[in-house]
Every structure is written in structure tokens, then in C-alpha cells.
Chain A
Amino acid sequence: MIDFRPIIHVIGILLAVLAAAMMLPVLTDWLNGFEQDAVVFAACAAGALFIGVSAMLAARTGEIVIDNRQSFMLATLAWIVLAGFAALPFAYSNLGLSAAGAFFEAMAGVTTTASTVITGLDSAPPGILLWRALLQWLGGMGTITFVILALPNLQVAGMQLFRLDTAESAHRAMPRAAQIVAGIALVYVALTALCATGLRLAGMTGFEAVAHAMAAISTGGFSTADQSIAHFRSPLIDAILIVFMILGSLPFFLYLQALRGNPRRLLRESQIHWLLAVLAVTILLMTAWHWHHSGERFLHALDECAFNVVSIVTGTGFTTAHYDSWGGLAIAAFLFLTIVGGCAGSASGGIKIFRFQVIYASADTQIRRMVRPNGLFIPYFNGRPIPDTVANAVMGFFFLFAVSFALLALGLGLLGLDLLTSLSGAASALSNVGAGLGPVIGPSGSFATLPDGAKWLLSFGMLLGRLDLYTVLVLLVPAFWRG
């Protein structure tokens, strides 16, 4: 039997944190004269706090010990329950969202996907805007914690590669997991503050700067304007966000090491090299093509390509251009880029760079073995040999990702969406990017017009993608519930 008490206890704590976070929109709305919205937030906060504290008290156990199966349950349930409570303010404010719409928006926030169903953001009450920003920001921090602490020990989808990382240095520099998380949280907050300051100086209002900084560092992508970053028409803002989106998609653990006097790891990490190489090559090719075909000024083309490519690859989903009207190449390229994702150890989603490295190294080894059946070839990652189990787990992940993508796209098709919307919607949700392609959900559209069924399906896709598939899928295996 699975002991649910620790799970419920932890979820209770998380709910209490969520309730505390809701006080910020209450304050903002109150100060800006949106008393009605402030009351909605306050009521939701009270509800969340009450249920959270009751859960904590009711399921209190002496010492919290969580085994593997409980971790899988906890992660999945935590994201669902938090999204459910986070959806309350959306549902009860006067945005007129359906239950599906409100849950979709909240799930998009906590999974740092940031697809939005709200139109008219420019005139939305500040509380709602702040709440969306906070959700991503908290979701991003939650993801990083989960990725660093839980996933490697659960041996999910090749994440065990990074267990050695944490454990090795744990002996010397960082004795306890709590300390690591606290350190990372500090880095996270500092980067957000830095980004917000930059954006403020570049001409955003203070509120916009904070909201966008939270969205960039968490690789979320909710904006405070319907037109996203295109609203600001400022190359300087674009440049600042490019830098911080990339920073947000690098392994946060290495920042911590860098701060503790070991910056070399950060510079030597092969994930980062690959990510930057992929970005540079893609941006160059795309700029050349776009410049040639659109007849825009070179710098403008470079700005547009660099910003949108970085935004999609890092899983953020800000947009500054309607790139799906640039022609077939842009659509195909952006669709494939959607699933690439950033580095492990960040809040970025998708397949992630390290998995491509592992699969490529294994495929390369296989081909060498085929040429010389008696040779000895070993695949390497970051200078260390990749164990067979890791290679297999990564390739299994790749296959499951493809299957989930196919099933999700088929489901969306069944609900009546067209081909491009189905494919790009599924990719964007699974990779936690948030921006789709095509007239419906593309940079010029919104998810508001989708049928409710599609919103539920996409919410499920975001959850699957956020928890690296296995964490959720394992719950669907009968063996999980046995014994």
C-alpha cells in the first residue's frame, strides 16, 4: 500500500505557500483601485490556506520519509492540485473564463508553458497579470527543485546522469539538499531582479519589468500585452530578454558552483556548448533566409530571428513577429525547434539538449561498431562514459515523447482542429513552450478559441511534458498500484 499521508502533508505545505503568494495580487489590486478583484484573490487565498493547513495537520507524520512511488504520486498530484487552486482567481474574476479555460491558464503558468486563453491583457487588472507572472515563477522554481532533487534519484529518463553531479560535490561543498535548493533559489531570485532592473532601465514600467523578468527566468513566457514583446518595439528590450532567456535555460546548479568559486564547470559543461551552438547556427541560417526573402533591414531581421528562435528553443514562448507567415521553412523550423528544449537543471522543457547528446553519442558508437564489429567504442557525455542504462532510458524517453506527441496531436485532430494547429499545439504543450503555429494558436492568435476538450487535452500535455513523461506515465501502469 502506498502511504498517502506524507504526500498530502507536502501538498498542504505547497498550498499554503501558494496562498501566501496570492497575497501579492491582493495587495496590487487593492493599491490600484481594483477592490473587487482584490476580494476575489483574498477569498481564494483564504480557501487555499485553509485547505492547505488542514491537509498539513490532518496528514502529519513524525518524520517525512518519501519513497520512489510516493515521489511519483507527489509530483504529479502537486502540479495538478496547485494548478487547480491557482485557477480559482481566473475563474472567479470577471474575465469570463470557463472552468477549462481557467485550469488551462493556471496549468500553463505552473508548468512554465504560458499559452494563454486571455485576450485583452493590456486592459486586464494588474492582479491577474501579476498572478500569471508569479505562477510561472513559482512553477519554474518548483521544476528546478524537482529536477535537481527528485528526478536523478528516481532514475527518470536518463536524469540519473546528473545524480553523480550532485552527490559527488555533496561530500565537499554542499552537505545538504536543502542548502542546495536554498542556494539555487537565491540565484533564481537574483537573476530575476537583475533582469527586471535591466528591463526597467530599457524603458518598461516597473510592473512590466518584474512580470517579464519572472517570465524570462522561468522560461514561462506570459506577457502583460496581447502582442507579447512586440508591444514594446525596442531592440534593447529584445536583447536583454534574449540574454536572460538563455540564462534561464542553463543548468542552475552550475551557477551555484560558479558562485562558490568553481566557474570552470560552467564554462566546460558540454550541454551549454551544444545549446549555444544550436542557437548560433539556427539564428544565422534563419536570419540569412529571412533577410533574403523578406527584404527587411539586416539588423531588424537578425533581431526578429534571434529573439524568436531563442524564445522557442529555451521554451519561453515570447514572440516579436508573426514568423509563421514567413513561409514554409520558418514553420517547419519552428515546429522542430519547439521540441528541442534547453539544458537539464533549468525550468526549460522539451526533449532537452543533453538527451540529444546522449542519443547522438550512442548512435555514433553504434555506427562505429557496425564498421568494426570487433572494435571497442564507448559513448561519452561531458567526458564521462554513458552507462548503458542511461542511454536506453534516454532513447526510451525519445520514443515515448514521439508517441505522446502523436497521440496528443491525433486527439486534437479528433476535436476538430486542423493539421498545423494539432501538430504545433501538441508540440508546444509537451515541450512547455507555449507558442504554437498557424492562424489559430500562432503568434497572432490565442488559445481562447479552442474547444474546451482541446484545453483539457493540452493541459494534460503540459503536465506530461513538465514531469518528463515517466513521472506521470508510471502512474498508469497497474504494477505501480500493486503491493
Chain B
Amino acid sequence: MIDLRPVFFVIGILLATLAVVMAFPALIDALAHNRDWTVFASSAALTLFLGVALVIANWTPRFEIDVREAFLLVTLAWVVAATAGALPMMFSRLHLGFTDAYFEAMSGITTTGSTVIVGLSSAPPGILLWRALLQMLGGMGFLFMGVAVLPYLKVGGMQFFRMETADRSENALPRLAQVAGGIAVIYLGLIAVDATLLWAAGMRGFDAVCHAMATLSTGGFSTFDNSIGHFKSLPIEIITIVFMLIAALPFPLYLQLVRGRPGRLFADSQVRTFLGLYLATVIVLTLWQWLGGGEKFGDAVRTVSFTAASIMTTTGFVTADYQSWGGFVMVLILFLTVVGACTGSPAGGLKIYRLEVLYATARSQIRRLTQPHGLFAAQYAGRPIPDPVASSVMGFFFLFALTFAALSIGLTATGLDFLTSVSGTAAAMGNVGRGLGGLIGPMGDFNALPDAAKWLLSLGMLLGRIELYSALILLWPDFWRG
């Protein structure tokens, strides 16, 4: 039997945390004499009450959690957190419906950054801060999950990272807590640095904080309808590019950096591949825009390097309407949307690590074809890839493709056109937040979509964030048996 008590216990703690964080927007709104502060205060009270009730009701002296409970917890945590996060949006001055509010909250907590709110510049500051905070918390939650949960659940080849973060000895848990704590400090520290720089570059303090949270969590919510493009400022764009890229690299390596092993960061194969891919994309797109599109070289470099960073790090900020750059760019951006960044970062997508494993496996297979009796072990980062890891990664890739096809066909069934459906699915499952086409493209938002489509996309964001398996596994009859 699955014991639900530890699951609800942890969710209770999570809700209580969310309630505490809701105090910030309440405070901001109160200071700005905005009546929405009551909404935040009552949402916080309700969430806190529920959270504490769950904690008390499910208190067990010996806290133990097994594999199945952990899967259930991962999925439920995200679903419940999004529901709690939706409360203030529903009852605030914006009067979003439940669908819209849930979509917005899910988009925040999964660090996707698709928005249904039009007229952000006139939205109450509490809501804007709440959106930023949701991403910040979601990003941190995913970082923890990537270090402490997914490797142990063997999700999509993540078991490869188990040995790195902790050995199996008795002191595994304290060490994990230490690593998680260190990562949290680095994450918050980077947000502080980014916010300070943005402020120094001319943003208002409030905008700087919101954008820093959206950047480091690779979320992409802005406080303006036209995103970073609103500021028309080169320094702000450069700072944002740099911090988006920082946010897309594996955070455990920053811990190594702080502990005096900086070499590890640039020796890491994910980091090299990701940055290499980024540079290649920037060069190709710059040439395309400069030679083919007739843009000035400087302008081309500026818009291209921002757009490529925003999509590849799965952030989703926008400074230019890249849809007008032609068919090639659209195809490239569609594919980059699902590629994603490094494991161990808050970014989404298939992840560079998995693509490297897939590539290494395919390569060793091809070599085996030429010499059937040769021994070719696929390697990642100098270590041979164990067979279960390789099949786990390949299974992930297949399930991703299958889910992608199912979701995009589902979206077309709600009446959306092909481009919106396919790119919307990619944007949701890759946790990028920007699609293609007139509706949800770089200059659009998700407001006009039918309700059914918003629910499907919320599901896509959830699936992408918890790396498919944790949710799909709940659909297997085996899971609930015995």
C-alpha cells in the first residue's frame, strides 16, 4: 500500500512555505495602497491553514518515503503548489478565471513564463511580484529535485548524477542537505547580483528584482508586455544574456567553483557543449540576418545573441520579433525550444546531458556495425555509460516525442492552427514559454487561447518540468497495485 501520510506531510510544509512567501506581495501592495493586499493576506491565511493542518494531521514520528510515494509527491507537489499560487491571481483586481489563474501559476512555478495577462505595466505590483516569486520558488524547487530526488528515482537517466552528489553511505542525507543549502545560497546570491546590476543599468528597483528572479530561474515573466524589449537598453540586454546563460549551467558546479575547484566548470562536457551550441547558433543566425536579412551587423549580433540565449536557456524573454526572420529561423527556434539547457540547472527541455548520451550511444552503435566484434563503450564525460542509463535516456526521448505528438494533436483539436499547436506544445514541454505564430509568438500572449488549450498546455508544462516519468508512472496500473 502507498502510505499517503508522508506525501501530505511534505505538501503541507510546501503550502506553509508558499503562504509565508505570499506575505511579500501583500506587503508591497499595502505599501502601494493597493487594495489587493487583502487578497494576498487572505490567500496566505488560507494556504497557511491548509498547510499546517496537513502537517499536523499527517505527522509521523519516523519519516520514511519509498519510491512510489516519492513519485506521487513530485507530481502532487507541483499540482498543489500551482493551485495555491493561482488563488491570489483569481481574486485580485485582474479577476482572472480559474483556468487563466491556474495556467499563469503553473507557468510561473514550472519556470515556463507563458502569460495570459495583458497590460502588465498597469497591473498591481503585488501580482507582478507574486509572478516573479513563483518562478523563483519553482526554479529553486527544481534545483533541489534535480540534486536530491530525480537521481534516486532514476528518471530519464538522472541516476548518472547520483554518484556525483552523494555516495550511498550513511551520511548521504546530511550531505544532500548541505549540497542543497549551498545551491540555494548561490541561487539567491546570483539573483541579488543580477538585480543590483540591472538596477545600476537603469531599471527601477522593483523591475530589477522581478527580472532577476525571472532570469535566474529561467522563467521569463516580465513586468512589461513587450518583455525586455521595453527597456531598449544595451547594458540591460547584455546583463540579462550573461545571467540567462549562467542560470542554464549546472548549479552543482558553481558549488565546486566556490569550494575552490573552478576548473571543473569549464571541463564539464555539458557546459562545453551548451556554450558551443550557443555560439554556433549565434554565428549562424547573425550571418543569416546580416547577409540574408540585410540587418546592420551590430544590430544583428545584438538581437540574435539575446534571442538565442533566451530560447536556449528556456527563459523566453523577447527583444525582437524573430518570427519575421524567415522559415529557417522558425524551424531552428522550434527545435531549440525542445533542446533545452544543462541538467542541474532550473532550465527545461530534453537537456544537453541527454542529447550527449544519445549521441554517444548512437555513435558506438554505428562503430559496432563496422566491426561487429569490436568493443565500443559509449562514454559520457570520460565515464562509460551504464546500459540502464542509456536505455533510460532513450526511453525518455521516446516518451517526450510521443507526449509531444499527443499534446500537439490535442491542441489542434481545440481549434488551434498547426503552428500554434506545435510551437505551443514545444514551449510548454520545454518550459520556454514562447511559441511561434501570430497568437502565441514573440509578440503575442496566451490570453486568446480556448480554455481546453490552456489546460492542455498546463499539463504540458507540468510534464516537462517533472521530466515526464513522475507523472506518466501514475498512469500505469502497476503503480497502484499492492
Which residues of A pack against B, CB within 8 Å? 68-69, 72, 154-156, 289, 327-329, 331-333, 335-336, 359-360, 362-364, 366-368, 370-373, 388, 391-393, 395-396, 398-400, 402, 406, 409-410, 412-414, 416-423, 470, 473-474, 477, 479-480
Contacts and interface: CB of A to CB of B under 8 A. Distances in A.
Given A68-B372, A392-B387, A332 B334 contact: no
6 contacts: A72-B370, A327-B412, A328-B417, A329-B409, A399-B358, A416-B327
Contacts of A329: 409, 412-413
A370 to B, nearest CB: 6
A388 B394 CA distance: 13
A371 B482 CA distance: 11
B99 interface: no
Interface stretch (B41-49, B90-98, B271-279, B472-480): B472-480
B365 interface: yes
Contacts of B332: 410, 413
Contact of A331 (B365, B394, B412, B415): B412
B5 interface: no
A395 B473 contact: no
Contacts of B370: 68-69, 72, 474, 477, 479-480
Contacts of B479: 371
Nearest to A398: B398
Interface in B356-392: 358-359, 361-363, 365-372, 387, 390-392
The dominant DSSP class at the A interface is helix
Contact of A328 (B68, B361, B418): B418
Interface in B399-417: 399, 401, 405, 408-409, 411-413, 415-417
A351 B426 CA distance: 22
Given A328-B411, A367-B476, 10 more contacts: A328-B412, A329-B409, A366-B395, A399-B362, A417-B327, A419-B334, A420-B418, A421-B327, A470-B365, A477-B370
Contacts, number: 163
Given A68-B372, A392-B391, A332 B412 contact: yes
B375 to A, nearest CB: 13
B59 interface: no
B330 A419 contact: yes
Contact of A370 (B67, B327, B413, B436): B67
Given A68-B370, A373-B67, A395 B397 contact: yes
A287 to B, nearest CB: 14
B328 interface: yes
Nearest to B395: A363
Contacts of A395: 361, 391, 394-395, 397-398
A474 B369 contact: yes
B154 interface: yes
Nearest to A333: B409
Contacts of B239: none
B53 interface: no
B361 A155 contact: no
Contact of B335 (A363, A410, A412): A410
Contacts of A410: 328, 331-332, 335
B353 interface: no
Residue of B331, B334, B363, B370 contacting most chain A CB atoms (<10 Å) = B331
Contact of A368 (B358, B362, B478): B478
B7 to A, nearest CB: 15
A367 B471 CA distance: 11
B107 interface: no
B366 A477 contact: yes
B421 interface: yes
A294 B299 CA distance: 47
Contacts of A367: 469, 472-473, 476, 478
Given A366-B395, A372-B478, A393-B365, A414 B328 contact: yes
Nearest to B413: A329
B153 interface: yes
A480 B376 CA distance: 14
B327 A362 contact: no
Contacts of A359: 394-395, 398
Contacts of A370: 67, 71, 153-155, 469, 473
B365 A392 contact: yes
A396 to B, nearest CB: 4
Nearest to A388: B387
Nearest to A395: B394
B331 A422 contact: yes
B419 interface: yes
Residue of A289, A359, A477 contacting most chain B CB atoms (<10 Å) = A359
A155 B472 CA distance: 32
A402 B418 CA distance: 19
A479 B367 contact: yes
Residue of A289, A327, A393, A419 contacting most chain B CB atoms (<10 Å) = A419
A419 B362 contact: no
Contacts of A393: 365
A413 B394 contact: no
B111 interface: no
Contacts of A335: 418
Contacts of B415: 327-328
Nearest to B156: A366
Nearest to A336: B405
A398 B369 contact: no
A219 to B, nearest CB: 22
B76 to A, nearest CB: 16
Contacts of A418: 327, 330
B420 interface: yes
Interface in B418-456: 418-422, 436
A156 B390 CA distance: 18
B153 to A, nearest CB: 7
Nearest to A477: B366
Contacts of B363: 477
Contacts of B409: 329, 332-333, 336
Contact of A474 (B68, B366, B472, B478): B366
B379 to A, nearest CB: 15
Residue of A69, A392, A399, A416 contacting most chain B CB atoms (<10 Å) = A399
Contacts of B395: 359, 362-363, 366, 395
Contacts of A409: 331, 335
Contacts of B417: 327-328
B228 to A, nearest CB: 25
Given A155-B369, A367-B469, A399-B362, A423 B331 contact: yes
B68 A68 contact: no
A239 B398 CA distance: 34
A324 B392 CA distance: 36
Given A392-B391, A393-B365, A413 B331 contact: yes
Contacts of A366: 391-392, 395
Contacts of A331: 412, 418
A91 B473 CA distance: 56
Nearest to B476: A367
B92 to A, nearest CB: 33
Contacts of A477: 363, 366-367, 370
What 4 A-B pairs have minimum CB-CB distances, sorted nearest first? A413-B328, A395-B394, A328-B412, A329-B412
Interface in B82-111: none
A371 B398 contact: no
Contacts of A473: 366
B398 A289 contact: no
A419 B369 contact: no
B331 A400 contact: no
Contacts of B397: 395, 398-399, 402
A68 B368 CA distance: 11
